[in-house]
Copies of this chain bind each other. A is one copy, B any other.
Amino acid sequence: MLKTAKAIPASIVTSVTREPLSGSKKIYVSNEANTFKVAMRHIELSPTLLRGSGDTAEYEENEPVRVYDTSGPYTDPSIDIDLNKGLPKFRKDWIDARNDTVQLENFSSDFTNQRLIDELDIEPFENKPKPRIAAEGKNVSQMHYARQGIITPEMEYIAIRENLGRASIPQDQIAELTAKGLPKEITAEFVRKEIAEGRAVMPMNINHPELEPMIIGRNFLVKINANIGNSALGSSIDEEVEKMVWSTRWGGDTVMDLSTGKNIHETREWIIRNSPVPIGTVPIYQALEKVKGIAEDLTWELFRDTLIEQAEQGVSYFTIHAGVLLEYVPLTANRVTGIVSRGGSIMAKWCLAHHKENFLYTHFDDICEIMKAYDVTFSLGDGLRPGSIADANDAAQFGELKTLGELTQKAWKHDVQVMIEGPGHVPMDKIKANMDEQLHHCYEAPFYTLGPLVTDIAPGYDHITSGIGAAQIGWYGTAMLCYVTPKEHLGLPNKDDVKTGIITYKIAAHAADLAKGHPNSQVRDDAMSKARFEFRWEDQFNIGLDPDTARAYHDATLPKESAKVA
């Protein structure tokens, strides 16, 4: 594989995967005013043989297949990337132009400032940017702009991106709907309206200007998230940066850094500076490391500093387990698997130890103040999600869900963006109820689920048990699907596992798009099927989600080149 391989001595991250996907090239679609370009991918196809052979052969061209591209600049060989400097700050001018932020000379987090003077056993990111924050009295969330009727460049970008640049309708018009209720074309005004009404979120911290704007909402393409992150058991910073690049290469729309090992702050900096997609975190994980793993020692002040630390680095969404209320904890006592959410069990432990209400709940308005100063999106955690088929859809789970709805309205009063996390382990016949309850109790805020796994009996195959549930709940309206790898419940995923998880979830998300009748989503299926019918093997490999594996499988049986055109 082509790799960036710069000999920069100070760097600990020297290379990531950069080869374009097989048969693909990067294209850029400009907006009407030609002020910016949206990256997409063209899968180029060979022509169809109509008749004849050799010199007398007659061919018909096949249009390239245009697909949504999450891989950022890495798959464009013409772009020079210096991992030590990070990706180009794509969105900086837009943020500057709004003139509602200030750049700070120093970081606002005590922890960050301490790390800057601490002696570290790794090489920190040397070009760490100074933090930006909303100017006094300003709210920089995209929801805030949307509610004032402002179409931001980010919204316009998303409209073109979601639309795959195929429509030429004026961007300030509202889109017509398909028979199934999805817009025929995505317009910037449609994006604005969905954001204003809370049905979609655009996670994009002003301190992550490197990211390519994207949207999560049920009237848009279904998105997927990949989890990465180190642990006490190991993994280095360069492995994590490569995992992030690898995840976005195969289709990860967002990446969550769930690091719980050493040097969490520095690992995250390296990841964000080089990430073309929004990064999410669970801040309580890092907070817990700061108190040496003793949940009872957590305090609001420490947590608040962690939020600010991460917000000033550029994390775009925070999982916050503010719905784990003291009153719900006893409801989990008779469960088969108790509380399986790590964040949920940390907060339950804290609540019980202090016999106090969850400080994330009591300080929710304070958290909102931080979120709107950087435009961090809430991902309200389902700390009481079921960890087994037996516990699905129980009183604890649905009790918490109602509280998440109450918090959604609270956040929306601050014009802060919100999505809601969902389960978990749910048999197929109980999946629909999860979606219905969520839409009802959380006022249509986007749903973001882990799977759900539709059975507990297949460790080693939980990408599949959960992919089945993910496809279904995606069809029912879940906006983003958090992937599960084959190592779920067993160990830490390696790069192969990450890829398998991503591809499985791209299948689930795409199947959901098809079932929802997303305009043009079937174009790729049709191109594949035509290539299949015409035995254009190379095209079949390249149109697929994983050309490399398809080609290798084909060649294992029919290795000859001739077998690919016959």
Contact = CB atoms under 8 A, between A and B. Distances in A.
Q: How large is the interface on A (under 10, 10 to 19, 20 to 34, 35 or more residues)?
A: 35 or more
A153 interface: no
A467 to B, nearest CB: 6
Contacts of A456: 524-526, 528-529, 532
B233 A557 contact: yes
A486 interface: yes
Interface string A475-519: 100000000001101111010000000011011101110111100
Interface in A422-465: 425, 427-429, 454-461, 463-465
Interface string A537-566: 000110111100110111011100000000
A546 B511 contact: no
A366 to B, nearest CB: 35
Given A507-B455, A515-B429, A460 B553 contact: yes
A137 to B, nearest CB: 48
A455 B525 CA distance: 7
A468 interface: yes
Given A522-B389, A557-B233, A529 B460 contact: no
A454 B545 contact: no
Contacts of A486: 553
Contacts of A540: 459, 489
A557 B490 contact: yes
A388 interface: yes
B491 A545 contact: no
A259 B179 CA distance: 46
Nearest to A474: B428
A389 B543 CA distance: 15
A526 B336 contact: yes
A22 to B, nearest CB: 12
Nearest to A540: B459
Contacts of A550: 459-460, 490
Contact of A529 (B390, B514, B517, B553): B390
A290 interface: no
A529 B468 contact: no
Nearest to A546: B460
Residue among A338, A459, A471 with most chain B CB within 10 A: A459
A461 B545 contact: yes
A480 B460 CA distance: 24
B390 A459 contact: no
Nearest to A528: B456
B532 A465 contact: no
A506 B541 CA distance: 28
Contacts of A247: none
Interface string A279-318: 0000000000000000000000000000000000000000
Interface string A207-241: 00000000000000000000000000100000000
A43 to B, nearest CB: 10
A165 interface: no
A387 B529 contact: yes
A337 interface: yes
Given A507-B461, A507-B465, A491 B455 contact: no
23 contacts: A233-B558, A336-B526, A336-B530, A337-B532, A387-B529, A388-B529, A390-B529, A391-B529, A428-B512, A429-B515, A455-B511, A456-B529, A458-B503, A458-B545, A460-B546, A460-B550, A461-B546, A464-B507, A468-B508, A486-B553, A489-B540, A490-B554, A494-B556
Q: Which 3 A-B pairs have the closest CB atoms?
A: A491-B557, A388-B529, A428-B515
